[in-house]
């Protein structure tokens, strides 16, 4: 049976040395500089054994191990972690699904440990290797590495507890990092998101728009889901794409926020506002109708007010122009009152005594 191996490490010198070592052992060797490249190789090749570093760009070794063990088609691959931080990192590497772990050091010493592991692998030994890390005897903790790992841990805790989805994409749009909230948004495990083409995670009507935005993304961030809805599983999303360059390579940070409740609240507020406007319009129309009625009534009513100069003898009233008018004439001219003339009993007796 043909022996095949995959070596994954961003150290090109180590890749070359490992490739030569394995070829001398009769292996067909595949080389990858990061986890994403390794997964691309695994799409078409099935190596019997994989040697992988832990600290790598574009999907690290820990994530790569979890993805491999999560895939039924890759579950039987023999995994060997080759790590330069084993003295500082306090992880249980075997809990990641690894069959063996080798500490990085001088390649001559590493080759001896690789030979032991390959002998075990090729003989298909029924018993597992000892649960120890090969080569730690001459490895000592380094303070700078501990500090970097501590910073990495803080970074992971922060992203892991964010309520918004956080993705990191390679230049082509493949997912190389996703936090727990991102996995919950899509109803998948983190391992299932890694290496996926990001637009393919969305329905067709949204995937095309996202692909176009990724392809046209230059230096400035872009936002999606503000003017044109971005819908996933009945939820409306807001997305921000932030490009950046690191060591000559282009990456994209994607922040995804579920704004369904916000949009629902905005819709309810808009409906409430429209209802208020209708109520105000109705009340305004009613008031205008009342005002018209009042104006019509007031137009028929004339009132006399203020001090009226009146003669104490003849009872004539002086108008604004200084003329004296009969009282009934003045009232008629300054109101809507009309007079019908008659004689009261007292005046009748005075004027017509012969009749009374």
- In the prediction, which pLDDT does 299 show? 67
3-state secondary structure of 288: helix
Tell the CATH topology of 162-258.
Answer: Beta-Lactamase (3.30.450)
Q: Where are the alpha helices (DSSP H) in the chain?
A: 12-24, 35-42, 61-70, 107-122, 143-160, 180-186, 190-193, 204-216, 260-300, 327-333, 345-351
- In the prediction, which pLDDT does 91 show? 67
- In the prediction, which pLDDT does 229 show? 82
Q: What are phi and psi of 120, to 5 degrees?
A: -65, -45
**In the beta sheet, which residues pair with residue 186?**
none
Q: Name all contacts of 42-47 with Cβ < 8 Å and 24+ positions apart.
A: 42/6, 42/68, 42/74, 45/4, 45/6, 46/4, 46/73, 46/74, 46/77, 47/4, 47/5, 47/6, 47/77
25 closest CA partner among 155, 119, 105: 119
For the chain, helix, strand, coil in percent to 5 are: 45, 20, 35
97 closest CA partner among 65, 133, 58, 140: 65
Domain spans, the chain: 4-143, 162-258, 263-301, 317-351
Angle at 241 between CA 221 and CA 248, to 5 degrees: 80
CATH class (in words) of the domain with range 4-143: alpha beta
Rg of the chain in Å (alpha carbons): 46
Residue 313 DSSP label: T
Cα–Cα distance between 236 and 230 in angstroms, integer?
Answer: 6
Spatial contact of 132 and 98, defined as CB atoms under 8 Å apart: no
Residue 44 DSSP label: T
Pairing label, strands 324-325, 317-318: antiparallel
Pairing label, strands 49-52, 4-8: parallel
- In the prediction, which pLDDT does 88 show? 62
pTM score > 0.85 for this model? no
Cα–Cα distance between 163 and 149 in angstroms, integer?
Answer: 24
- Show pLDDT as tens, one digit a residue, over the chain (356 residues): 679 999 999 999 999 999 999 999 999 999 999 999 999 999 999 999 999 998 888 999 989 999 999 888 898 899 999 987 766 666 677 788 899 999 888 899 999 999 999 999 988 766 778 778 888 766 555 554 555 555 566 667 777 778 899 999 998 899 999 999 999 999 999 989 999 999 999 998 889 889 999 988 888 899 988 777 888 888 899 999 999 988 888 999 999 999 888 878 878 888 889 899 999 999 998 898 888 888 877 665 556 666 778 887 887 888 878 888 888 777 777 777 777 778 888 887 887 788 76
- In the prediction, which pLDDT does 144 show? 46
Cα–Cα distance between 29 and 33 in angstroms, integer?
Answer: 13
- In the prediction, which pLDDT does 268 show? 86
Spatial contact of 8 and 34, defined as CB atoms under 8 Å apart: yes
């Amino acid at each position: 049976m043909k022996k095949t191996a995959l070596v994954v490490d961003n150290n090109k010198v180590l890749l070359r040395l490992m490739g030569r070592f394995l070829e001398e052992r009769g292996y067909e060797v595949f080389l990858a500089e990061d986890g994403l490249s390794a997964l691309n190789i695994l799409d078409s090749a099935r190596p019997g054994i994989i040697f992988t570093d832990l600290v790598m760009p574009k999907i690290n070794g820990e994530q790569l191990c979890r993805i491999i063990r999560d895939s039924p088609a890759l579950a039987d691959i023999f995994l060997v972690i080759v790590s330069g931080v084993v003295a500082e990192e306090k992880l249980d590497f075997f809990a990641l699904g690894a069959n063996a772990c080798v500490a990085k050091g001088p390649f001559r010493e590493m080759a001896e440990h690789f030979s032991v592991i390959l002998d075990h692998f090729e003989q298909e030994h029924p018993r597992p290797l000892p649960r120890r890390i090969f080569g730690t005897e001459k490895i000592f903790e380094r303070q700078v590495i501990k500090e970097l790992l501590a910073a990495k841990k803080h970074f992971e805790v922060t992203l892991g507890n964010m309520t918004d989805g956080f993705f990191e994409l390679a230049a082509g749009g493949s997912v190389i990092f996703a936090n727990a909230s991102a996995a919950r948004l899509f109803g998948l495990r983190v391992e299932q998101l890694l290496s996926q083409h990001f637009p393919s995670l969305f329905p067709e009507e949204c995937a095309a728009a996202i692909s176009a935005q990724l392809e046209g993304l230059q230096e400035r961030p872009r936002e999606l889901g503000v003017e044109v809805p971005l819908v996933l599983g009945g939820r409306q999303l807001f997305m921000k794409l932030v490009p950046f360059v690191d060591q000559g390579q282009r990456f994209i940070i994607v922040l995804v926020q579920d704004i369904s409740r916000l949009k629902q609240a905005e819709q309810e507020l808009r409906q409430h506002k429209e209802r208020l406007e209708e109520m105000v319009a109705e009340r305004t129309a009613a008031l205008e109708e009342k005002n018209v009625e009042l104006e019509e009534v007031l137009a028929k009513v004339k009132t006399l007010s203020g001090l009226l100069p009146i003669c104490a003898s003849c009872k004539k009233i002086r108008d604004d122009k200084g003329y004296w008018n009969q009282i009934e004439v003045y009232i008629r001219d300054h109101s809507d009152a009309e007079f019908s003339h008659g004689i009261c009993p007292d005046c009748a007796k005075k004027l017509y005594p012969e009749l009374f």
